[in-house]
Chains A and B, each alone.
Chain A
Amino acid sequence: MSFIISTQAELLKTKRTSSFWLPITGAAFIPLMLFISFFAGDDASKAAVLKDPWTKYLSMGWELFCVLLLPMYIILVSTLITQIEYRNNSWKQVFASPQSLGNIFFSKFLTVHVIIIFCFLLFNFFMILAAVLANVFNPKFTFLSSNINWQTLLQLNLKTYIAALGIIAVQFWVSLRFKNFIVPLGIGVALVIIAIVAMAAQVVHIYKYPYSFPILTYDFMQKKNRPFLENHELNSIGYFIFFTLIGFLDMKLRKEKG
């Protein structure tokens, strides 16, 4: 019960911060680009006239989402949520209020997840909206006459989220650790770039590196007959548990709070 209250308080704190606009702009960016490219004669417009346009179109969007947007978004949201306290010098008030350290840590962590999930939902919505709208403007497109494979889409959402759990835990920890927001931002961006380079170079140990997990999930979703959870997704859960614990202990054992 007290955890729910702490979380409600956390959500209240995000009011009027960019945590509202960030998911909207973040989620709308790729669909908007694709929407524009429908009319620019690019790949998207070729996909739009296929017999099954959704599969190709959605995969184009999700690739961009998994490679760059989602990791960057996680970095920004984690920083944003923890910076609310740092920026306002309010950690001390939080720690001097009657909340358990567990509630303080996990209510913030949950808030980060809620905002990321919000972004997932919006991304799905905007992706479909962009295609439907494009079809309305251009009747030659086949979106309206074809079906979306909801099951695959749901699976893609779920697996991508699981693949992102490792990044979320690491970023939340470093964001909580450092008062200067440049640090978690810099660390995050560097780790994302390493992931992209490692993917391109096809490094063998990529399955152990959390920042590449969403890309891997995207890749595996293009293949048929895969297990429900890939190895790297299990690794992601492992990283998630490990770094969540590290983050919590780090906060709990800190000599100086606030």
Chain B
Amino acid sequence: MTSTAIIKTIGLTYYFNKNHKTLDNINLEVQRGSIYGFLGPNGAGKTTTLRLLLGLLKKQQGSIQVFGKEFDQHRIECLKHIGSLIEQPSLYGHLTAKENLEIYRKIYGTSKDRIGFVLQLVGLEATGKKKAKQFSLGMKQRLSIAIALLHNPELLILDEPTNGLDPNGIIETRELVKKLNRENGVTIIVSSHMLTEVERMATHVGIIHKGKLLFEGTLPELQNLKNRQSFIQIDTSNNNAALSLLAEHGAQNTNGYVVLPFKEKTITAAINKKLVEQHIDVYLLQPKQNDLEQLFIDITSDN
């Protein structure tokens, strides 16, 4: 099976005002069947990008292809197969869960039994006559996801779906996303400002910062990048001596430890040998990884 891009943007650039590029040349490629974690700090341009993908913002520069078609020219056709949840829930507070779904059921022209199905899927089947405005935030979020899923979309766009949820809600949402992807083959774009969140569910990652796409690739590719940034942390009886001894390896003093870039296991062993031979007692020698959080900070602070 050839992997095909379900979404492709080329040179997507967007200005909210003339002097400030909110999005700068975004080339996004979301593969069919993937869970694409769209990662970036608040204000990075995630929501702007997703809004452009849904046609909620008027495109200014670049092109957007959804399902291999230009979105502009096939807006309705594309939207028929996209489910979305953008920022806070958009529910009719005066209506029940069922009534909210009924409105969209009509618009999408799906069968009536889908309502019961999606309600069960998000665990809201027992809300009865309770109106959406009386729901907890978690329930509202789940109902919004139910609406997004109602017409069995090929592509699901979730903008910060776990925002404001309690830990349980976060886990439930994450599991739901994975399940939909696994069992129904739904391609999912999920944005988040939390790296751990994305790491736990995504197969692909795009990192956006200040309107620029800094990284795009699979999760393993991101891990590789991470490995490249691994280092060795050393503590000895004489750190100053160790520092000058290991200067050729690029040793530095960081927080009272001797830190140098990790290259290979054999080199780690050689370093240890060298220290011992010079009668420096090694208390601690451990390869450490820049965890993704650190990487994230690194990646985003470079620019």
Contacts and interface: CB of A to CB of B under 8 A. Distances in A.
Interface of A: 5-6, 8-9, 12-13, 15-17, 84, 87-93, 95-100, 254-258
B157 to A, nearest CB: 8
A90 B91 contact: yes
Given A5-B106, A6-B107, A92-B86, A15 B94 contact: yes
A88 B144 CA distance: 12
Contacts of B109: 5
B94 A16 contact: yes
Given A15-B99, A90-B91, A96 B76 contact: no
Contact of B76 (A17, A98, A257): A98
B38 to A, nearest CB: 17
Contacts, number: 83
User: Which of B55, B57, B90, B104 has most A Cβ within 10 Å?
Assistant: B90
B177 interface: no
A255 B51 CA distance: 11
Nearest to A94: B90
A241 B51 CA distance: 32
B93 interface: yes
B84 A96 contact: yes
Contacts of B95: 12-13, 15-16
B174 to A, nearest CB: 23
B82 A9 contact: no
Contacts of B51: 92
A50 to B, nearest CB: 46
Interface string B188-218: 0000000000000000000000000000000
Interface string B120-161: 000000000001000000000000000100000000000000
B147 A93 contact: yes
B288 interface: no
B79 A90 contact: no
Contacts of B91: 88, 90
A90 B140 CA distance: 13
Nearest to B105: A9
A89 B90 CA distance: 5
Interface residues of B, number: 32
Interface of B: 51, 54-58, 76-77, 79-80, 82, 84, 86-95, 99, 102-104, 106-109, 131, 147
A84 B86 contact: no
B56 A258 contact: yes
B188 to A, nearest CB: 16
A96 B56 contact: yes
Contacts of A15: 94-95, 99
A98 B55 contact: no
A98 B92 contact: no
Contacts of A8: 106
Contacts of A95: 54-56
Contacts of B88: 89
B92 A90 contact: yes
Contacts of B103: 9, 12-13
Contact of A90 (B80, B90, B108): B90
B244 to A, nearest CB: 60
A99 B56 contact: no
A147 B15 CA distance: 68
Given A96-B84, A98-B76, A99-B107, A88 B93 contact: yes
Contacts of A98: 76-77, 79-80, 107-108
Given A12-B102, A12-B106, A92-B86, A257 B94 contact: no
A95 B58 CA distance: 12
24 contacts: A5-B106, A9-B106, A12-B99, A13-B92, A15-B94, A90-B90, A90-B92, A92-B90, A93-B84, A95-B55, A96-B55, A96-B56, A96-B82, A97-B107, A97-B108, A98-B79, A98-B108, A99-B107, A100-B76, A255-B57, A256-B57, A257-B55, A257-B57, A258-B90
Contacts of B102: 12
A61 B93 CA distance: 37
A143 B82 CA distance: 61
A13 B91 CA distance: 10
A51 B219 CA distance: 89
B92 A88 contact: yes
Nearest to A258: B56
A72 to B, nearest CB: 23
A90 B54 CA distance: 14
Nearest to A104: B107
- Nearest first, the 3 closest Cβ-Cβ pairs linking A and B are A90-B90, A98-B79, A93-B90
A34 to B, nearest CB: 33
